[in-house]
Structure 1
Amino acid sequence: MSGIAILCSGQGNQRSGMFDLVASEPAAAPVFAAAGRVLGNRDPRDLVRQGGDIIHRNDVAQVLCCAAALAVWVVVGPSVPRPLIVAGYSAGEVPAWAVAGVIDASSAFDLVVRRAAVMDGATREPSGLAAIVGLRRDVVDGLCRAHGLDVAIVNGLLHFIVGGRAADLQRALTDATAHGATRATMLPVHVASHTPALKGASERFGELLTEIDAEAALPRDVRLISGIDGRPVRSVADGLVKLAAQVSTTIDWAACMDACRASRPSRVLELGPGDALARMMTEFEPGIPARSAADFRSVAGLRRWMEAAP
C-alpha cells in the first residue's frame, strides 16, 4: 500500500488563526455551519478569533478540532490521491472516521459533542493531562504509581502523556524534572482522557455509538487505524468498540505512526490545529514528507504539495 496518510489532531493547540486556511472557502461552509449547531449557534470561526479560555474547554475544544480537520478535508479531500491511511489522535479519532468515509460530518459533530459531555460528566474534580519527555517508560510508570496517575498516551520511547487529578499532576511534574525529564508540563486539557478515571464515560459513549450502523462496509481504498493499538479497523463493529474504549484506555500513538510507516505513504498530512503530529511523524520516520495543513498559507499551496507526491 502507498498513497497518503491523514492524521487528525487532538485538542490542545486551538488558536485564533486555526481556521484561516479555509475560513472563506465555499466548500467548507457546511462544515462550519454543522459545528455552529452543536456550539449553541456560535460560529467556530468567530469563537476562535475571540479566543480566551473557552476554546480550551473540553466540550468546545473537541468540536473545534473536529471542525478544523473536516473543513480542510472537504476542500482538499476530493483531490487527494488514494489509497488513504487515516488515524486520529485522541479527540481526533472521531473526525478521522469521517475523513475515512465511515460517518458523515454531521454525525461526527454529534458524536464529539456527546463524547465531551460524557467525559465532563465523569470528571468530578479538577483533572487533566501533562506531557513528560525524556524519561523511559519504567520511570514514568513509577511516577504514575507514586502520584496516583496513569499513562494516557504513548508518543514514543521517551515521550508520554499522563493523566489524573490536577494536584497530583503538578507534584508528578516536579518529580519528573528532578528525575531528568527534558520537558514536564501541563497541557490545556481539563479531563483525564484515556485513563481508567473515565471508564464510566467509555461505557456511556459506547451506548451512544450503537446508533452507528455497525454493518456498514469500510471503504476499500481506506485503511483506518485504531488509536489504542495501531491496528487497522477490520469492521465497523469492532472499530466502534475500540472507539468507545479509547476514552479510558491508553492510546498507543507510536504504534499508529508505525502502522502509517508500514503502509509506505508518499506523504503524511496532519489535519487540525497545530503541527504536533506532523513533527512527531518526521522524527519517527524522516524519510516520509510530513506537513500540517496549518503550515500552508493557501489551499493552492497545500494542493501543490499533495500533487507532488510520487
Structure 2
Amino acid sequence: MTGWTGPGSDGTTVGCLAMFPGQGSQRPGMARHLLDTYPSARDLFARADEILDLPLSRICASGTAAELARTEITQPAVAATSLVVWELLHDAGYHPAAAAGHSLGEYPALVAAGVLSLESALQLVQLRGRLMGKVAREVPGAMAAVLGLTADQVQAACSAAEGLGLVQVANYNDPLQTVISGHAHAVEVAGRSALEAGADKVVPLDVGAPFHCSLMSAVEEEFTEALAAHPFADPVLPVISSVTGTYIGSGEEARELLRRQLTSPVHWVEVLRTAARHPVGAYTEIGPGRVLSGLARRTLGEARTRSTGDPRRLTALYGELASETWQEPVAS
C-alpha cells in the first residue's frame, strides 16, 4: 500500500504514521476553529451529536474545562475532534503508511483503517467513558507520570507499594516517562519511592479514573458484550496496536485488543519502534494537543513530527496537501 510520503534527510521518501491522541489531550475550545472554518467539520460533529444524543459540537467548541474533564464526555469529545481532523486531511490527500492511537486514540485509528464505522467507534467510546467513570466513582484511584526513570525502575517503585493497594504500570510513553495507575494511596507511595530512586518528578494526572490497570476488570464483561454487538472489518490501512506494539492482523483481533486495552498498559514506545523499523519516517499527530509528537521525538531522536491541534499548524498542513506540495516536518 502506498502511503503519503515526504523527503527524508538522504533524499529518499518515507511514509507517515498517523498518530491519534488519547485522554488528556482535551482543552476548552479545541474544536472551535474546526467548526468555524470547515463545513465538513460541522457536518461530522452534527452526526456525532445525533449518534451520541449529546451536544458534542457545543462542548468541543465552548465547553468548560470542568465539563470536558468528565470521562464520559472527554472520550467522545477527543475521538470526534480527531476524526474531524482526519477527515479534513484525508479528503485533501493525506494517505499515511500506517496508523496508531494512544489508548482512546486507537478508536479513531481503527475508523481511519476501515475497521470500525464512525457510529460504532463513537458509541463504544461513549460507553467506555461511562464505564471508566463508574470505576472512578467506586474506587479511590489515581494515575501519575514518573519522569526520569526507566520502566524497570518504575516497576520496582510499584513493587515497593506492595500490600498497600494495587499499583501497576499503565503507560510506557517514552524511555524515561512511565505512567502508573491503581489505588490512590498505593500510587502515592510508589511515586515517593520513585523520587527516592532518582526520578526527576512525579506528576499526578487529572484523568478521572485509574486507567489501564486491573481495577478496570470490574467493567470488562459489560464492555466485551458491547464490542460483540458491533461489526469489525479487517484493516485496509496498517494499524499498530497500543496493547501489543505490533500490527493488528484482522478485525477480530482488533475487537479482542480493545477488550484487553481496558486493563493492559499502553506500549507506546513499542508502537513507535515498530513504526520506525518499517518504512515510516514522519509522524503526524491527528487531533488535539502535541503530546504524541513530543513522545515520538524523545523516543526516536530525530523523528520528524507534525501536529494539527491548533489553527496555524492544521492550516499549514491542510494547505500543503491541497496544493500537492510538501514541506519537511519540523519539531514544534
Q: TM-score, normalised by structure 1?
A: 0.90
Is the 1:86–1:100 Cα contact (8 Å) retained in structure 2?
yes
In the aligned structure 2, how far is the partner of 1:285 from the partner of 1:202?
34
C-alpha distance after superposition, 1:160-209 (max 9, x if no partner): 01101223323332332232211211111121111111123233222211
Q: Runs of 5+ in structure 2 lacking a partner?
A: 3-13
SS of the aligned residue for 2:180 comes to strand
User: Does 2:99 correspond to 1:97?
Assistant: no
Q: Distance in 2 between matches of 1:206 and 1:11?
A: 21
8 A Cα contact 1:228 1:252, kept in partner: yes
**Which amino acid in the other structure matches residue 188 of structure 2?**
Q
Aligned to 2:133: 120
Are 2:17 and 1:5 equivalent residues in the alignment? yes
Structure 1 letter corresponding to 2:175: L
- Alpha-carbon deviation of 1:298? 6.2
After superposition, the C-alpha distances for 1:123-176 in whole angstroms (9 at most, x for unaligned) are 422213210011122321122123330000112332101101223323332332
- Report the equivalent of 2:216: 198
Query: 1:281-303: per-residue Cα shift (whole Å, max 9, x none)?
Result: 12222433211101542644122
The alpha-carbon distance between structure 1 residues 143 and 38, as it changes in their structure 2 partners (threshold 3 A), is farther
Distance 1:3 1:21, change over 3 A: farther
- Map 1:249-260 onto structure 2 (within 5 A): 249-260=264-275
Structure 1, unaligned runs of 5 or more: none
Distance 1:305 1:266 in 2: 18
Paired letter, 1:217: D
Mean Cα deviation higher: 47-56 or 32-41: 32-41
Rate the CA distance shift 1:43–1:51 in 2: closer, same or farther, 3 A.
Answer: same
Percent identical among aligned pairs is 27
Closer, same or farther: CA 227–290 of 1 in aligned 2, 3 Å: same
Residue deviations 1:101-127, cap 9 Å, x none? 222222211110011122233442221
Cα distance in 2, alignment partners of residues 239 and 75 from structure 1: 25
2:223 corresponds to 1:210: no
Judged with a 3 Å threshold, the aligned counterparts in structure 2 of structure 1 residues 40 and 211 are, in CA distance, closer, same or farther, namely closer
- For 1:76 and 1:21, the matched residues in 2 are separated by 15
> Structure 1 stretch 67-76 or stretch 263-272: which is displaced more?
263-272
Aligned partner of 1:284: which letter?
T
Counterpart among 126, 144, 153 of residue 158 in structure 2: 144
How many residue pairs get aligned? The number is 307
1:235 is aligned to 2:250: yes
Q: Secondary structure at the match of 2:309?
A: helix
Deviation at 1:305, TM superposition (A): 4.8
1:260 offset after TM fit, Å? Answer: 1.8
User: What is the SS of the residue equivalent to 1:279?
Assistant: helix
| RMSD (Å) for aligned C-alpha atoms | 2.2
Q: Is the 8 A contact 2:29 2:63 kept in 1?
A: no
Q: In structure 1, how many angstroms separate the alpha carbons of the residues matched to 2:208 and 2:155? A: 21
Q: Residues 226 and 242 of structure 1 are in contact (CA less than 8 Å); yes or no, is this contact kept in structure 2?
A: yes
Alignment map for 1:1-310 (pairs within 5 Å)? 2-24=14-36, 25-37=38-50, 40-46=53-59, 49-123=62-136, 124-147=138-161, 148-214=166-232, 216-219=233-236, 222-297=237-312, 299-305=314-320, 307-308=325-326
Deviations 1:250-285 (A, max 9, x none): 111101111221232353111222101011112222
Matched to 1:33, the amino acid is A
The CA distance in 2 between the partners of 1:39 and 1:188, in whole Å, is 24
Residues 47-90 of structure 1, C-alpha deviation per residue, up to 9 Å, x if partnerless? 55241322111111101110120111111112334353110101
The one-letter code sitting in structure 1 at the alignment partner of 2:68 is I
Query: Shift of the alpha carbon at 1:5?
Result: 1.0
Tell me how far apart the structure 2 counterparts of residues 309 and 237 of structure 1 sit (CA, whole Å): 38
Matched position secondary structure for 1:3: strand
**Aligned 8 A contact 1:15 1:48 in 2:** no
The answer to whether the 8 Å contact 1:296/1:302 transfers is no
Residue type at the aligned position of 1:85: A
Deviating above 6 A after TM superposition, structure 1's stretches of 4 or more consecutive aligned residues are: none
Q: Which stretch shows the higher mean deviation, 68-77 or 283-292? A: 283-292
Contact 1:129 1:193 in 2 (8 A): yes
Change (3 A) 1:146 1:4: same
* Cα pair 1:153 1:161 within 8 Å, conserved: yes
